[in-house]
Amino acid sequence: MTLADFDIGLFLREYWQRKPLLIRNPWAEWVNPLEPDDLAGLACEEEVESRLITQAGTDWAVEHGPLDEARFGELGDAPWTLLVQAVDHYVAEVAALMAPFRFIPNWRMDDVMVSYATDGGGVGPHFDQYDVFLIQGAGKRRWQIGGLCDEATPLRPHDDLRLLADFGPTQEWVLEPGDILYLPPGIAHDGVAVGPDCMTYSIGFRAPSQRDLIEDWSAHVAEGLAEDDRYADPGLPLQTNPGEITAEALARLHDLATQALADRAGFARWFGQASSTPKYPQADWRPEAPVLAEDVQDALNDGLPVRRNPASRFVFVRDGADALTLFVDGEAFACTGEAARFAEQLCAGDDVPVKTPDAAVLALIAALASQGSVTLDPED
C-alpha cells in the first residue's frame, strides 16, 4: 500500500505535530480491510482490549470487553460505537495499513484501533496526547476540529471518557471511504458517524512524557545500584552553622544522585528494550518448539521470506559503523556485519527475502522465530 501524490517532506515540515491535514482518498484503490462482524468477533475475545460506548442524549456509558456476542443484538436504535485496540496484531490486512506511514520511526508507532459506529455514534468531543492518522474505512464520518487543549482544559465528569466541557469547532469535514485526517497532539476533535456502518482506522503514535521517562529510567537504574554506595564526606570541615547544607555537600549529593543516570549508553540500551516491549506482553506468540538454524535454512531454501509478527516491535541503535543492537519485543541482540545489515532490513520492512545467509544471520532469525517475533511460514 502506498499514498499517491503525498509529499512526505512537505508533511513533516509543515504539518507533523503542528496542524491538522485532510487527505482526500490517496489510495490507488481503497478496499475496507475488515468486516464489521469480524471486528465484533474480536471484541468478544478475552485477550483483545475493546470498549462499547452507548449514548442516551447527552449521557455516555462505557462497557469494557470482552463482550458477549448477544450484547450486539440488544443495542437497539440509539447511537453506539465499538472500539477495538491493536487490531493490527490479529488481522494482517489491517497491519498493512501501517506501512505507508513508516516514514515515522518504528519506536513512535503504536497500533491500529478500529471503530465501528451506527448513525450518530461517536465518542464525544475530546483531545488526545498523541499524533493520529484517521482513515475512513467504510461509511461516512463528520469530523469537527477545535482549538489546542492541554491538561488545564476543563473536562466533563466521567469515569471512562475524557469529554471536553466546552467544545467550539472551527473546521468541519465529512470523510468518505479512503479519506485520511491527520491530527497532532492536543487538538480538540469530535467524530460522528453519518449514516450506518461507519468504520474508522486510527493509526496512533506514542510519545513518552518527561515524567514517565524520568520515573522509568530512574527505577531501572536504581535496581542495579548497591545499597552501600552512600554519601561520604571524609575531611569534613568545621561549619560555622550546623544548620547549613553547604555548597560542597550539595555538589556531592547531586553527583551521587545523577552520575548513574547520565550513562548515555545504558540509557540507549534501556530505551531500546523498553520501547520494543509489546503493548500486550501477556500474549504468547512463541511456536511450540524452538526454531533451529537448520529449520531456518530449510525454509529459506524453499524461498520463504522472513516475515515480522505484526504484534512485535523492531528498533535498533547503532553501536558503530558496522555494528548495532537490535531490540525486538524487549530483547536485545548484538549484531555486526551481515547480521547488522539484515537487522536494518528487518526493521525497515515487514517481509525480508534472504538469499545466502551466514551463520550469524541464521542464528538471529532462529532466535527471533523462537520467541515468535518472526515467522517463515507461507502466506495463507
Q: What is the pLDDT of residues 113-170, one digit of tens each?
A: 999 999 999 999 999 999 999 999 999 999 999 999 999 999 999 888 999 999 999 9
Contact 257, 337 (CB under 8 A): no
Average pLDDT, the chain: 94
Q: How confident is the model at residue 379 (pLDDT cuts 50, 70, 90)?
A: low
Grid cell for residue 185: 497532539
Q: Which residues contact 376 (CB under 8 A, 6 or more apart)?
A: 295, 296, 299, 300, 304, 305, 306, 307, 365, 369
Q: What is the pLDDT of residues 217-234, one digit of tens each?
A: 999 999 999 988 899 999
DSSP assignment of 73-92, as one string? GG-TTS-EEEEES-GGGT-H
Distance, in Å, from the CA atom of 337 to the CA atom of 353, rounded to the nearest integer, reads 17
Q: How confident is the model at residue 56 (pLDDT cuts 50, 70, 90)?
A: confident
What's the pLDDT at 57?
Answer: 78
Q: What is the pLDDT of residues 67-80, one digit of tens each?
A: 999 999 999 888 99
Whether pLDDT at 255 is above 50: yes
What's the pLDDT at 378?
Answer: 67
